């Protein structure tokens, strides 16, 4: 019988339970897929802990890749045997098999493996909207990205470099400096050893930056503000160090007429046309070698607890996946 990870209560990795599940036939606009690889993302921990509230009991995970096993009566874009990837709610990708809406899936092109597709959908689609939609970068522009050696960071920095940006990356340890440099950073700052805002102003000759991309959250907010020039934008898209406190607009935003935004992937792929545009651009980056992906570690689905422990302990550097049990 197929198995799936579910949670009955919020908490630490120990709340993840591997259980037998019955898979219902797909509805008219749904497809049933057999997962071959499952993406692991930090947002999964937010759902698990309740930082992002979900109705319990619930499955976990939004990202995966697999083979279509059965299609609903009104499905037009997919057939049995197609390789597909997805990275949107409903939650439940931590599973051997599942039924998903047709609208959240895209076909995986030749030249992209199932494991790579599963590891990049959330991170890669996030990178696309950050670079092209939330703040459209320009060639020659200097930008700052926090956690440059992480899963999103490695993709983002390579992609930004392919657009001829000058990339400043921050990392949390010296062991990650070389990783960030290898993935496109022109400058790398260990924010646990030096004040990254002072270093950024030194690099930019006190001009500051037009944009800072911050997936770290609480620990980096104030210094990220310091890095911005007047009318610059802080793009806050993650909480790996904790969620932000309420923002004092007069203190942090008004002084330099700054822009602050809190984007979410769901709002950038809800329209089918935008979703396909983003996925096509991402797969092209992979196929043409502009973004190279190395999967850091593979875990069995039954080892999801260990994967979450490693994720929260910052032991996963880059992309990691769950592989369904045979």
Peptide bond between residue 57 and the one before it cis (omega within 30 degrees of 0): yes
* Helix ranges restricted to H, the chain: 42-49, 114-129, 151-162, 177-182, 196-203, 221-227, 266-269, 272-287, 304-312
**Does 287 map to a domain?**
no
Query: Are 106 and 171 within one domain?
Result: no
* pTM for this entry: 0.91
CB of 145 closer than 8 Å to CB of 168: yes
Separation of alpha carbons 8 and 17, rounded Å = 8
| 124-177 pLDDT tens trace | 999 999 999 999 999 999 999 999 999 999 999 999 999 999 999 999 999 999
Query: Are 73 and 93 within one domain?
Result: yes
What's the average model confidence in pLDDT over 66-93?
Answer: 97
Residue 224 CB neighbour total at 10 angstroms = 26
- Residue 198: helix, strand or coil by DSSP? helix
Query: Are 143 and 253 within one domain?
Result: yes
- Tokens 């769901």, residue located: 266
**Does 216 map to a domain?**
yes
Separation of alpha carbons 47 and 23, rounded Å = 23
Q: Beta strands 209-214 and 142-145: pairing type?
A: parallel
Q: How confident is the model at residue 267 (pLDDT cuts 50, 70, 90)?
A: very high
CATH label of the domain that carries residue 157: 3.40.50.720
- Residue 100: helix, strand or coil by DSSP? strand
**Does 308 map to a domain?**
yes
**Does 127 map to a domain?**
no
**What is the signed CA dihedral for 14, 20, 26, 30, rounded to 10 degrees?**
20
Domain count, the chain: 2
pLDDT (0 to 100) of residue 216: 87
Q: Is residue 189's pLDDT more than 80?
A: yes
Query: Are 107 and 156 within one domain?
Result: no
**Does 132 map to a domain?**
no
CB of 232 closer than 8 Å to CB of 164: no
- Residue 104: helix, strand or coil by DSSP? helix
pLDDT (0 to 100) of residue 326: 60
Q: Is residue 238's pLDDT more than 90?
A: no
Q: Is residue 60's pLDDT more than 90?
A: yes
CB of 94 closer than 8 Å to CB of 5: yes
Domain encompassing residue 81: 3-119+271-282+293-323
Compute the mean pLDDT over every residue in the chain, rounded to the nearest whole number.
95
What's the average model confidence in pLDDT over 77-91?
Answer: 96
Choose between 101 and 316: higher pLDDT. Answer: 101
Q: Is residue 325's pLDDT more than 90?
A: no
Token pair recorded at residue 239:
């909480």
**Does 126 map to a domain?**
no
Query: Are 197 and 238 within one domain?
Result: yes
**Does 46 map to a domain?**
yes
């Amino acid at each position: 019988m197929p198995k799936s990870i579910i949670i009955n209560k919020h908490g630490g990795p120990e709340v993840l339970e591997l259980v037998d599940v019955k898979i219902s036939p797909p509805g008219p606009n749904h497809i049933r897929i057999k997962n071959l690889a499952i993406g692991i993302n930090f947002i999964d921990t937010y759902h698990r802990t309740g930082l992002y509230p979900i109705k319990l009991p619930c499955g976990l995970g939004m990202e995966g890749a697999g083979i279509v096993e059965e299609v609903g009566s009104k499905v037009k874009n997919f057939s049995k045997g197609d390789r597909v990837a997805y990275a949107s709610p409903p939650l439940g990708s931590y599973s051997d098999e599942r039924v998903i809406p047709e609208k959240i899936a895209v076909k995986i092109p030749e030249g992209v493996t199932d494991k790579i597709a599963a590891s990049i959908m959330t991170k890669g689609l996030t990178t696309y909207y950050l670079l092209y939609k939330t703040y459209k970068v320009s060639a020659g522009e200097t930008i700052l990205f926090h956690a440059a050696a992480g899963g999103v960071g490695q993709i983002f920095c390579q992609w930004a470099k392919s657009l001829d940006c000058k990339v400043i990356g921050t990392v949390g340890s010296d062991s990650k400096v070389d990783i960030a440099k290898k993935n496109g950073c022109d400058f790398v700052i260990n924010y646990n050893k030096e004040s990254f805002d002072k270093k950024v102003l030194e690099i930019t000759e006190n001009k500051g930056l037009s944009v800072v991309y911050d997936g770290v959250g609480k620990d980096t907010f104030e210094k990220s503000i310091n890095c911005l020039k007047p009318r610059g934008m802080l793009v806050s898209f993650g909480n790996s160090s904790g969620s932000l406190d309420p923002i004092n607009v007069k203190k942090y935003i008004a002084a330099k007429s700054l822009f602050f935004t809190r984007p979410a992937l769901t709002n950038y792929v809800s329209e089918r046309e935008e979703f396909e545009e983003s996925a096509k651009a991402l797969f092209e980056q992979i196929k043409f070698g502009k973004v190279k992906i190395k999967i850091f570690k593979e875990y069995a689905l039954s080892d999801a607890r260990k994967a979450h422990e490693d994720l929260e302990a910052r032991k996963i550097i880059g992309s990691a996946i769950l592989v369904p049990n045979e």
